[in-house]
Each structure stands twice: as C-alpha cells, then as structure tokens.
Amino acid sequence: MKITILRIIKILTESIYIEFSSPYGKGYSNLIAPGAKENQYIEMEIGDEFSWNKNILISEKSSPSIRSKPDATYITG
C-alpha cells in the first residue's frame, strides 16, 4: 500500500513510529525504514498473518478505509 509519512512520532531502536496517510485514510504504524523522512511517499507492507475471527473480521462497511485508535489501526478492504 502506498502511503505518505506525515509525521515521525518516535525513533525506536530498530524502527520508527509514524503517522501516515493513504488514499483510504490516516493511521499509525511502526516502520522499519532507515532514513525515512516526513512527506516521503513509500510502499508499506502489512506483514501480519491473518486468521478469521482473531485479527480479521467481516466489516459492516463496504468501502475501503483506515482509522486509528490509541491501541490499534483498523483497515477495511
């Protein structure tokens, strides 16, 4: 997914914590991208393993979106 880094929130030991935007909305993520800068366009890969009813659920929405809460980022596809 192509994203734009809006803000680098925190630099961690092996990653950075960022706020990003995409065509589907804004979100937050830890990112392993040495040299990443604000306003930079990058390709982000979601590397989780998905399991029904564990970390992937049927959505009541039908349009793609990204939204964040303090403890999670929700992606609807």
Query: Tell me: the pLDDT tens digits for 39-70?
Result: 999 988 777 788 888 888 888 877 888 887 77
How many whole angstroms separate alpha carbon 22 and alpha carbon 13? 26
Q: State pTM to two decimals.
A: 0.72
Average of per-residue pLDDT across 70-75 = 76
Grade residue 21 by pLDDT with cuts at 50, 70 and 90.
very high
Q: pLDDT confidence of 6, banded at 50, 70, 90?
A: very high
Q: Does residue 8 carry a pLDDT above 90?
A: yes
Residue 15 three-state SS? coil
Question: Tokens 């390709």 sit at which residue?
Answer: 43
Domain parsing of the chain, residue ranges: 2-76
Q: Where are the beta strands (DSSP E) in 2-69?
A: 2-11, 16-22, 25-31, 41-43, 65-69
Give yes or no for a contact between 64 and 29, defined as CB atoms under 8 angstroms apart: no
